[in-house]
Amino acid sequence: MKIGLIGHGAIAGYVSAQLGSRGIRPAVFLMRTRRALDGQDADAMQVTEARDLPEGLDLMVDCAGHAGLAAHGPAILAAGIDLVSVSLGALADRDLHDRLEDAAQQGGARLHLASGAIGALDCLQAARIGGLDEVTYIGRKPPAGWKGSPAETALDLDGLTKAAEHFAGDARRAATEYPKNANVAAAVALAGTGFDATQVRLIADPGISANIHEIHASGAFGRFSFRIEGTPLPDSPRSSALAAMSVVAAIERQRATIVI
Ligand SMILES: NC(=O)C1=CN([C@@H]2O[C@H](COP(=O)(O)OP(=O)(O)OC[C@H]3O[C@@H](n4cnc5c(N)ncnc54)[C@H](OP(=O)(O)O)[C@@H]3O)[C@@H](O)[C@H]2O)C=CC1
Ligand SMILES: O=C([O-])CC(=O)C(=O)O
Protein backbone atom coordinates (compact mmCIF):
# COMPACT_ATOMS: atom_id res chain seq x y z
CA MET A 1 0.00 0.00 0.00
CA LYS A 2 1.45 3.38 -1.06
CA ILE A 3 0.48 5.95 1.57
CA GLY A 4 1.11 9.67 2.02
CA LEU A 5 0.59 11.73 5.17
CA ILE A 6 -0.46 15.38 5.44
CA GLY A 7 1.42 17.10 8.28
CA HIS A 8 4.08 15.80 10.64
CA GLY A 9 2.87 16.75 14.11
CA ALA A 10 2.05 14.60 17.15
CA ILE A 11 -0.63 12.47 15.44
CA ALA A 12 1.25 12.05 12.16
CA GLY A 13 4.41 11.04 14.06
CA TYR A 14 2.49 8.35 15.94
CA VAL A 15 0.78 7.13 12.77
CA SER A 16 4.04 6.92 10.84
CA ALA A 17 5.73 4.97 13.66
CA GLN A 18 2.80 2.52 13.86
CA LEU A 19 2.81 2.07 10.09
CA GLY A 20 6.56 1.42 10.28
CA SER A 21 6.03 -1.37 12.78
CA ARG A 22 3.57 -2.88 10.25
CA GLY A 23 6.16 -2.74 7.47
CA ILE A 24 4.73 0.36 5.76
CA ARG A 25 6.85 3.46 5.23
CA PRO A 26 4.90 6.56 4.18
CA ALA A 27 5.98 7.37 0.62
CA VAL A 28 5.43 11.11 0.92
CA PHE A 29 4.65 13.87 3.40
CA LEU A 30 2.52 16.81 2.28
CA MET A 31 3.90 19.60 4.46
CA ARG A 32 3.24 23.27 5.08
CA THR A 33 6.97 23.85 4.68
CA ARG A 34 9.70 21.29 4.02
CA ARG A 35 11.87 20.43 7.03
CA ALA A 36 14.26 17.74 8.26
CA LEU A 37 12.44 14.68 9.61
CA ASP A 38 14.03 11.90 11.60
CA GLY A 39 13.75 8.13 11.98
CA GLN A 40 12.08 6.21 9.18
CA ASP A 41 10.68 9.47 7.77
CA ALA A 42 14.11 11.06 7.18
CA ASP A 43 14.33 9.90 3.55
CA ALA A 44 10.65 10.27 2.66
CA MET A 45 9.70 12.60 -0.17
CA GLN A 46 8.27 15.96 0.96
CA VAL A 47 5.97 18.17 -1.10
CA THR A 48 4.02 21.32 -0.22
CA GLU A 49 1.27 21.07 -2.86
CA ALA A 50 -1.13 18.22 -3.63
CA ARG A 51 -0.37 18.58 -7.35
CA ASP A 52 3.24 17.48 -6.64
CA LEU A 53 2.23 14.17 -5.01
CA PRO A 54 3.79 11.13 -6.69
CA GLU A 55 1.82 8.81 -8.98
CA GLY A 56 0.27 5.60 -7.72
CA LEU A 57 -0.76 6.63 -4.19
CA ASP A 58 -3.43 4.33 -2.74
CA LEU A 59 -4.28 6.57 0.19
CA MET A 60 -3.58 9.96 1.71
CA VAL A 61 -3.96 10.49 5.45
CA ASP A 62 -4.70 13.91 6.88
CA CYS A 63 -3.24 14.56 10.35
CA ALA A 64 -2.84 18.30 9.76
CA GLY A 65 -5.97 19.81 11.32
CA HIS A 66 -8.67 21.92 9.70
CA ALA A 67 -6.22 24.05 7.70
CA GLY A 68 -4.53 20.99 6.20
CA LEU A 69 -7.81 19.36 5.17
CA ALA A 70 -9.14 22.61 3.70
CA ALA A 71 -5.91 23.31 1.82
CA HIS A 72 -5.39 19.86 0.31
CA GLY A 73 -8.48 17.67 0.76
CA PRO A 74 -10.41 18.80 -2.34
CA ALA A 75 -7.41 18.44 -4.69
CA ILE A 76 -6.52 14.98 -3.35
CA LEU A 77 -10.08 13.66 -3.72
CA ALA A 78 -10.49 15.26 -7.15
CA ALA A 79 -7.32 13.42 -8.21
CA GLY A 80 -9.06 10.13 -7.34
CA ILE A 81 -7.06 9.41 -4.18
CA ASP A 82 -8.97 8.19 -1.12
CA LEU A 83 -8.37 10.29 1.98
CA VAL A 84 -8.52 9.42 5.68
CA SER A 85 -8.96 12.47 7.92
CA VAL A 86 -8.95 13.08 11.65
CA SER A 87 -9.85 16.78 11.19
CA LEU A 88 -13.61 16.17 11.37
CA GLY A 89 -14.48 19.58 12.77
CA ALA A 90 -13.52 21.16 9.44
CA LEU A 91 -16.76 19.74 8.03
CA ALA A 92 -18.71 22.24 10.16
CA ASP A 93 -17.80 24.70 7.39
CA ARG A 94 -20.64 24.11 4.90
CA ASP A 95 -18.63 25.42 1.98
CA LEU A 96 -15.69 23.09 2.69
CA HIS A 97 -18.08 20.18 3.27
CA ASP A 98 -19.61 20.75 -0.18
CA ARG A 99 -16.24 21.21 -1.87
CA LEU A 100 -15.00 17.93 -0.40
CA GLU A 101 -18.17 16.14 -1.48
CA ASP A 102 -18.01 17.55 -5.01
CA ALA A 103 -14.30 16.72 -5.33
CA ALA A 104 -14.86 13.14 -4.13
CA GLN A 105 -17.64 12.67 -6.67
CA GLN A 106 -15.54 14.20 -9.43
CA GLY A 107 -12.54 12.00 -8.64
CA GLY A 108 -14.46 8.83 -7.75
CA ALA A 109 -12.70 8.84 -4.36
CA ARG A 110 -13.92 8.65 -0.77
CA LEU A 111 -13.25 10.67 2.36
CA HIS A 112 -13.01 8.35 5.38
CA LEU A 113 -13.46 10.04 8.76
CA ALA A 114 -11.44 8.46 11.56
CA SER A 115 -13.35 8.03 14.82
CA GLY A 116 -10.71 10.07 16.69
CA ALA A 117 -10.64 10.37 20.46
CA ILE A 118 -14.21 9.12 20.96
CA GLY A 119 -16.12 5.84 20.64
CA ALA A 120 -19.76 4.72 20.34
CA LEU A 121 -20.16 6.39 16.92
CA ASP A 122 -21.43 3.05 15.56
CA CYS A 123 -24.15 3.11 18.20
CA LEU A 124 -25.18 6.66 17.32
CA GLN A 125 -25.23 5.90 13.59
CA ALA A 126 -27.47 2.91 14.13
CA ALA A 127 -29.71 4.79 16.58
CA ARG A 128 -30.14 7.60 14.04
CA ILE A 129 -31.97 5.18 11.75
CA GLY A 130 -34.80 4.81 14.26
CA GLY A 131 -34.72 8.50 15.23
CA LEU A 132 -32.67 10.30 17.88
CA ASP A 133 -34.36 12.73 20.28
CA GLU A 134 -31.34 14.27 21.93
CA VAL A 135 -27.55 14.00 21.78
CA THR A 136 -25.20 15.82 24.16
CA TYR A 137 -21.42 15.71 24.11
CA ILE A 138 -19.34 16.87 27.09
CA GLY A 139 -15.58 17.33 26.69
CA ARG A 140 -13.29 17.72 29.73
CA LYS A 141 -9.57 18.27 29.58
CA PRO A 142 -6.92 19.45 32.04
CA PRO A 143 -6.22 23.21 31.66
CA ALA A 144 -3.05 22.55 29.59
CA GLY A 145 -5.20 20.77 27.00
CA TRP A 146 -7.16 23.98 26.33
CA LYS A 147 -4.11 26.20 25.74
CA GLY A 148 -4.39 27.98 22.40
CA SER A 149 -8.21 27.80 22.40
CA PRO A 150 -10.91 30.39 23.34
CA ALA A 151 -10.82 28.85 26.85
CA GLU A 152 -7.68 30.90 27.35
CA THR A 153 -9.63 34.16 27.19
CA ALA A 154 -12.75 32.83 28.97
CA LEU A 155 -10.80 31.45 31.96
CA ASP A 156 -7.57 31.90 33.88
CA LEU A 157 -6.33 28.43 32.87
CA ASP A 158 -3.12 28.60 34.93
CA GLY A 159 -4.93 29.73 38.08
CA LEU A 160 -7.91 27.37 37.87
CA THR A 161 -8.69 25.61 41.17
CA LYS A 162 -11.88 23.79 40.16
CA ALA A 163 -13.65 22.61 37.00
CA ALA A 164 -15.01 25.45 34.86
CA GLU A 165 -17.20 25.38 31.75
CA HIS A 166 -16.00 27.66 28.97
CA PHE A 167 -18.36 26.67 26.15
CA ALA A 168 -22.01 25.65 25.88
CA GLY A 169 -23.71 25.61 22.50
CA ASP A 170 -24.14 23.59 19.34
CA ALA A 171 -21.54 21.37 17.69
CA ARG A 172 -21.13 23.62 14.65
CA ARG A 173 -19.99 26.54 16.80
CA ALA A 174 -17.84 24.28 19.02
CA ALA A 175 -16.07 22.71 16.02
CA THR A 176 -15.52 26.10 14.40
CA GLU A 177 -14.29 27.94 17.48
CA TYR A 178 -12.16 25.06 18.83
CA PRO A 179 -10.48 23.57 15.71
CA LYS A 180 -7.83 21.74 17.76
CA ASN A 181 -10.13 20.59 20.55
CA ALA A 182 -13.67 19.88 19.36
CA ASN A 183 -13.24 17.42 16.50
CA VAL A 184 -14.91 14.93 18.81
CA ALA A 185 -17.99 17.19 18.92
CA ALA A 186 -18.01 17.03 15.11
CA ALA A 187 -17.70 13.23 15.12
CA VAL A 188 -20.68 12.95 17.47
CA ALA A 189 -22.65 15.40 15.30
CA LEU A 190 -21.85 13.64 12.03
CA ALA A 191 -22.76 10.23 13.42
CA GLY A 192 -25.91 11.44 15.20
CA THR A 193 -28.20 14.45 14.88
CA GLY A 194 -25.95 16.81 12.91
CA PHE A 195 -23.96 19.93 13.75
CA ASP A 196 -26.90 22.16 14.67
CA ALA A 197 -28.90 19.77 16.88
CA THR A 198 -25.99 18.32 18.87
CA GLN A 199 -25.46 20.06 22.20
CA VAL A 200 -21.90 20.56 23.45
CA ARG A 201 -20.31 21.56 26.75
CA LEU A 202 -16.56 22.05 27.11
CA ILE A 203 -14.89 22.08 30.54
CA ALA A 204 -11.39 22.76 31.85
CA ASP A 205 -10.72 20.69 34.96
CA PRO A 206 -7.51 21.00 37.02
CA GLY A 207 -8.47 17.83 38.93
CA ILE A 208 -7.99 15.43 35.99
CA SER A 209 -5.03 14.25 33.94
CA ALA A 210 -6.97 12.50 31.13
CA ASN A 211 -9.05 13.90 28.27
CA ILE A 212 -12.55 12.81 29.28
CA HIS A 213 -15.27 12.59 26.63
CA GLU A 214 -18.93 11.75 27.30
CA ILE A 215 -21.89 11.18 25.01
CA HIS A 216 -25.48 11.04 26.28
CA ALA A 217 -28.10 10.08 23.70
CA SER A 218 -31.75 9.10 23.67
CA GLY A 219 -34.22 8.13 20.97
CA ALA A 220 -36.41 5.33 19.63
CA PHE A 221 -33.61 2.84 20.39
CA GLY A 222 -33.61 3.70 24.11
CA ARG A 223 -30.81 5.67 25.73
CA PHE A 224 -27.07 5.33 26.25
CA SER A 225 -24.19 7.09 27.94
CA PHE A 226 -20.59 6.64 26.90
CA ARG A 227 -17.52 7.92 28.72
CA ILE A 228 -13.86 7.56 27.87
CA GLU A 229 -10.76 8.72 29.76
CA GLY A 230 -8.16 9.18 27.05
CA THR A 231 -4.43 9.39 27.75
CA PRO A 232 -2.94 12.41 25.95
CA LEU A 233 -0.18 11.88 23.38
CA PRO A 234 3.24 12.58 24.93
CA ASP A 235 3.96 15.26 22.28
CA SER A 236 0.63 17.07 22.57
CA PRO A 237 -1.45 17.43 25.77
CA ARG A 238 -4.57 18.43 23.84
CA SER A 239 -4.64 15.36 21.54
CA SER A 240 -5.61 11.94 22.92
CA ALA A 241 -3.51 8.96 21.89
CA LEU A 242 -6.72 7.22 20.81
CA ALA A 243 -7.17 9.83 18.06
CA ALA A 244 -3.85 8.77 16.53
CA MET A 245 -4.68 5.10 17.08
CA SER A 246 -8.00 5.59 15.28
CA VAL A 247 -6.17 6.87 12.21
CA VAL A 248 -4.06 3.70 12.07
CA ALA A 249 -7.24 1.64 12.55
CA ALA A 250 -8.89 3.54 9.66
CA ILE A 251 -5.89 2.75 7.45
CA GLU A 252 -6.07 -0.91 8.47
CA ARG A 253 -9.75 -0.98 7.51
CA GLN A 254 -8.73 0.06 3.98
CA ARG A 255 -6.70 -3.14 3.66
CA ALA A 256 -9.03 -5.52 5.48
CA THR A 257 -11.09 -8.14 3.67
CA ILE A 258 -13.53 -8.42 6.56
CA VAL A 259 -14.38 -4.95 7.82
CA ILE A 260 -15.81 -3.93 11.18
N1 LIG B 1 -10.82 13.67 15.69
C2 LIG B 1 -10.22 13.80 16.87
O3 LIG B 1 -10.64 13.21 17.88
C4 LIG B 1 -9.00 14.64 17.00
C5 LIG B 1 -8.59 15.43 15.95
N6 LIG B 1 -7.47 16.21 16.06
C7 LIG B 1 -7.10 17.06 14.91
O8 LIG B 1 -5.82 16.65 14.48
C9 LIG B 1 -5.03 17.80 14.26
C10 LIG B 1 -3.56 17.43 14.44
O11 LIG B 1 -3.32 17.12 15.79
P12 LIG B 1 -1.82 17.04 16.35
O13 LIG B 1 -1.02 16.13 15.54
O14 LIG B 1 -1.93 16.83 17.80
O15 LIG B 1 -1.36 18.56 16.08
P16 LIG B 1 0.11 19.13 15.84
O17 LIG B 1 0.01 20.60 16.05
O18 LIG B 1 1.10 18.36 16.62
O19 LIG B 1 0.40 18.85 14.29
C20 LIG B 1 -0.27 19.51 13.26
C21 LIG B 1 0.52 19.30 11.97
O22 LIG B 1 -0.26 19.76 10.87
C23 LIG B 1 0.59 20.54 10.04
N24 LIG B 1 -0.18 21.48 9.21
C25 LIG B 1 -0.93 22.52 9.61
N26 LIG B 1 -1.47 23.12 8.53
C27 LIG B 1 -1.04 22.45 7.45
C28 LIG B 1 -1.24 22.59 6.04
N29 LIG B 1 -1.99 23.56 5.53
N30 LIG B 1 -0.63 21.69 5.21
C31 LIG B 1 0.14 20.72 5.69
N32 LIG B 1 0.37 20.53 7.02
C33 LIG B 1 -0.21 21.39 7.86
C34 LIG B 1 1.54 21.23 11.01
O35 LIG B 1 2.64 21.72 10.31
P36 LIG B 1 3.61 22.86 10.94
O37 LIG B 1 4.40 22.13 12.00
O38 LIG B 1 4.42 23.28 9.77
O39 LIG B 1 2.73 23.91 11.49
C40 LIG B 1 1.85 20.05 11.94
O41 LIG B 1 2.82 19.22 11.34
C42 LIG B 1 -5.56 18.83 15.28
O43 LIG B 1 -5.31 20.15 14.83
C44 LIG B 1 -7.03 18.53 15.31
O45 LIG B 1 -7.75 19.32 14.39
C46 LIG B 1 -6.72 16.19 17.20
C47 LIG B 1 -7.09 15.41 18.26
C48 LIG B 1 -8.28 14.60 18.26
O1 LIG C 1 -7.86 14.47 21.45
C2 LIG C 1 -8.87 14.72 22.11
O3 LIG C 1 -9.07 14.25 23.25
C4 LIG C 1 -9.99 15.54 21.53
C5 LIG C 1 -9.60 16.64 20.63
O6 LIG C 1 -8.55 17.23 20.75
C7 LIG C 1 -10.56 17.03 19.60
O8 LIG C 1 -11.72 16.61 19.67
O9 LIG C 1 -10.17 17.78 18.67
Tens digit of each residue's pLDDT (9 = 90 or more) over 151-205:
999 999 999 999 999 999 999 999 999 999 999 999 999 999 999 999 999 999 9
Told to judge if 213 belongs to the known catalytic residues of this protein, a careful annotator would answer yes
Which residues make up the CATH 3.30.360.10 domain(s) of the chain? 121-237
Task: Determine whether the shortest distance from the Cβ of 16 to ligand 1 is under 6 A.
Answer: no
* Å from CA of 54 to ligand 2 middle: 31
CATH number for the domain formed by residue range(s) 121-237:
3.30.360.10
* Burial of 260 (C-beta count, 10 Å sphere; 0-12/13-18/19+): exposed
Among 149, 215, 239, residue to substitute to test ligand 1 (most atoms within 8 Å of Cβ): 239
Q: Write the burial class of residue 34 (CB in 10 Å: 0-12 exposed, 13-18 middle, 19+ buried).
A: exposed
| Range list for CATH 3.40.50.720 in the chain | 3-113
- Distance between CA atoms of residues 27 and 43, nearest Å: 9
Architecture of the structural domain at 3-113: 3-Layer(aba) Sandwich (3.40)
- The model's pLDDT over 82-130, given as tens digits with 9 standing for 90+, comes to 999 999 999 999 999 999 999 999 999 999 999 999 999 999 999 999 9
- Whether the Cβ atoms of residue 138 and residue 203 lie closer than 8 Å to each other: yes
Q: What is the pTM of this model?
A: 0.98
Q: Is the CB of 184 under 6 A from ligand 2?
A: yes
Nearest CA to 13 among 47, 51, 40? 40
Q: Quick check: CB of 175 below 6 Å from ligand 2?
A: no
- What is the phi/psi pair of residue 90, to 5°? -60, -25
Catalytic residue (choose from 66, 72, 166, 213):
213
